[in-house]
Structure 1
Amino acid sequence: MSEPPSRSSSQFPVLETQRLLLRETSLADAPVLFAIHADADAMRWFGTEPLPDEQAAQKVIEGWATARTLANPGIRWGIERRADRRLIGTCGMFRWNRQWRACMVGYELARDAWGQGFMREALLAVLGFGFVQMQLNRVEAQVHPDNLASLKLVERLGFVREGLLREAGWWGGQAQDLVQLSLLRREQRVVVL
């Protein structure tokens, strides 16, 4: 179980859905984040190597906090299941180009939370926030071509395939292709929460 976010981050946009609380991550979340990111099989499509230890998870959390202050900032939400207040993953927007009104979406979920619709629910809230509060016109997703569950998820949310980015990523000791998808404001089928 994770601790609630610190009260010092009153600027952080907390989002609520029927089953989830999307909140700022804190260092208290490092053990759970490490457990998710240390699962090499579950993280094989994430785009980075599995985390080696809990300290690396703490650095990831600190990096997310810092990212909100950069020129092309991002927002990463911890996905907390309301029923048991357990952190089950994260999702968010990154590479936010305010001038172009565009950003990318990324996410990961603990293996025992797969297949229950949690990420769809979380992304609906995040996309709604992006199109309204961030005033986005375009949200991009890059998904490994073999990650069929993730491709199905974003396509169900209305994302459109634009092509294949050949060897766009590098992890697992080799170059990785990525499917480029996008969702435009005018095309969205997203329910704004």
Structure 2
Amino acid sequence: MLIGYARTSTLEQEAGLEAQKRDLRAAGCEEVYAERVSSVAAERGKLQAAIKFGRKGDTLVVTKVDRLARSAAGLWDIVQELEAKGVSLRVLNLGGDTVDTRSATGRLILTVFAGFAQFEREMMLERQREGIAKAKAEGKYKGRQPTAQAKAEKVRALAAEGMSMGQIAAQLGIGKGSVHRILTAKSADQAA
């Protein structure tokens, strides 16, 4: 059985997630697991569910290496977990070819492309850091605007109306933790 896995990091990448799911289904995946989560910081529950679902002889399919892992070491940790279950990995978009870890050639090609993916990510982060440093030196970098703090008065008003933190977060489109920080900061200010 072919099991698909699709991932994007943010809600803004919805079109990319839909394209991955479309490509996975076109490749013959009977089950497709999809999630919006960073591959670096967060736990990827759908990936773990896909791996758990896999049985001996199945193949986990992804569209690109970077949808699965950000480093060559991280990729090989996943490959080893799959291989321990008798599940192989197939990557669809490697220069127009499909790579499958069932063969030695496939594992070699995957290793090379995983190295390139990691290199590409590190170079992008380096350019980003350089750009931020240059913008700061020129006085142009302001950083990300604090979206939750801009809604602090509305948060307090909704809390005064009796809404829960979860309801406030959902209504205003901010995180529940941000709502909690705003409300506890107010409490701390009043206590002082």
- Give TM-score scaled by structure 1 length: 0.29
**Relative contact order (C-alpha < 8 Å, sep 6+): which is higher?**
1
Question: Rg bigger for which structure?
Answer: 2
More helix by share: 2
Query: Going by fraction, where is strand more abundant, 1 or 2?
Result: 1
